[in-house]
């Protein structure tokens, strides 16, 4: 059972500051996205039940810290990692990333099950899994909260408003995983240390038979600014007890807290 998990590394969203309505990324550590960890955990559980191997694949997109970040996936239990790194990917959009991932998966010795998180922690477009499935000609099931593999098929359960839907797909197949699917494991110190000894392959676009021109962005981001907010600039002065009450009243009026 060859299981492949496509993951993405992002700046830690909890440590990103906003200045002039734009994110400040200097000094912010990079990490695997939370939903990517759910997909990786699902892969590890399938491996534990059915045997096989787990390969984590990512596209660097100009991030030179990606190799260190991919050690998270290996520490959690991945058997090996593949990084697609090329200067042409620094401006890659979802279409280019999907092309690179599909080519990387196609170059692997085998892929019976291809897993994704339902979206990335940054732009959360949710486009890449479907684009990869289309390029590889594989069936896809989205938003799986449970999955199991038996007899050459994967069965996925997903919540659809008031209904619970069960889908069954022949392998190989693509499945996206939601956060409710599991609780990603936390690697031990020994696992973190051993992660550096696991194989990591770095492939360029040339290795995948892809030309930079073919991966030129088809989209242009016009604006990606934080919402503009006007400060109230309310100043509370005087007796502390009275001003505390006035402060709480102001929060109630703004709908921040209730009484």
Q: How is 94-111 classified by DSSP, letter by letter?
A: HHHHHHHHHHHHHHSS--
pLDDT by residue for the chain (259 residues), tens digit each?
999 999 988 777 777 777 777 777 777 777 888 999 999 999 999 999 999 999 999 998 666 678 888 999 999 999 999 999 988 888 788 888 999 999 999 999 999 999 999 877 666 677 899 999 999 999 999 999 999 999 999 999 998 888 899 999 999 999 999 999 999 999 999 999 999 999 999 999 999 999 877 777 777 777 767 677 677 777 888 888 888 888 888 888 887 777 6
CB neighbours of residue 244 within 10 Å: 11
Q: Say if residues 164 and 158 touch (Cβ distance below 8 Å).
A: yes
Q: Walk me through the domains of the chain, giving residue ranges and CATH numbers.
A: 2-215 (3.40.50.620), 229-259 (no CATH)
- Number of helices (H), then strands (E), in the chain: 6, 14
Residue 101's region, left for phi above 0, alpha for psi from -120 to 50, else beta, is alpha
The residues, ordered by sequence, that sit 6+ positions from 192 with a Cβ below 8 Å of its Cβ are 71, 75
Distance, in Å, from the CA atom of 36 to the CA atom of 103, rounded to the nearest integer, reads: 20
- Please report the pLDDT score of residue 123 as a whole number: 66
- Please report the pLDDT score of residue 60 as a whole number: 86
Burial 40-75, CB ≥16 within 10 A → b, else e:
bbbbbbbbeeeebebbbbbbbbebeebbebbbbbbb
- Please report the pLDDT score of residue 87 as a whole number: 86
Q: What is the pTM of this model?
A: 0.81
- Please report the pLDDT score of residue 11 as a whole number: 75
Distance, in Å, from the CA atom of 215 to the CA atom of 89, rounded to the nearest integer, reads: 8
- Strand pairing partners for 83? 58, 202
Residue corresponding to tokens 């593949």? 82
């Amino acid at each position: 059972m060859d299981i492949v998990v496509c993951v993405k590394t992002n700046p830690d969203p909890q440590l990103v500051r906003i200045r002039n309505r734009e994110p400040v990324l200097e000094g912010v550590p990079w990490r695997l996205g939370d939903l990517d960890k759910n997909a990786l955990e699902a892969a590890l559980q399938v491996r534990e039940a059915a045997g096989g191997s787990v390969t984590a694949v990512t596209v660097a997109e100009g991030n030179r810290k990606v190799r260190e970040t991919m050690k998270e996936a290996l520490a959690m239990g991945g058997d090996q990692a593949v990084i697609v790194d090329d200067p042409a990917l620094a401006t890659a959009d979802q279409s280019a990333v999907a092309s690179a991932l599909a080519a990387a998966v196609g170059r692997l010795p085998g892929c019976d099950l291809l897993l994704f998180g339902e979206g990335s922690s940054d732009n959360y477009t949710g486009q890449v899994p479907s684009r990869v499935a289309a390029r590889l000609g594989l069936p896809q099931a989205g938003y799986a909260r449970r999955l199991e593999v038996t007899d050459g098929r994967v069965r996925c359960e997903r919540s659809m408003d008031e209904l619970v839907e069960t889908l069954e797909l022949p392998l190989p197949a693509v499945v996206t995983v939601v956060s409710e699917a599991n609780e990603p494991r936390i690697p031990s110190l020994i696992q973190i240390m051993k992660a550096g000894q696991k194989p990591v392959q770095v492939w360029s676009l040339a290795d995948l038979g892809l030309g930079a021109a073919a991966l030129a962005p088809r989209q242009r981001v016009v604006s990606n600014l934080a919402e503009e907010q006007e400060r109230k600039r309310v100043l509370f002065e005087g007796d502390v007890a009275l001003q505390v009450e006035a402060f709480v009243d102001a929060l109630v009026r703004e709908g921040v807290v209730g009484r």
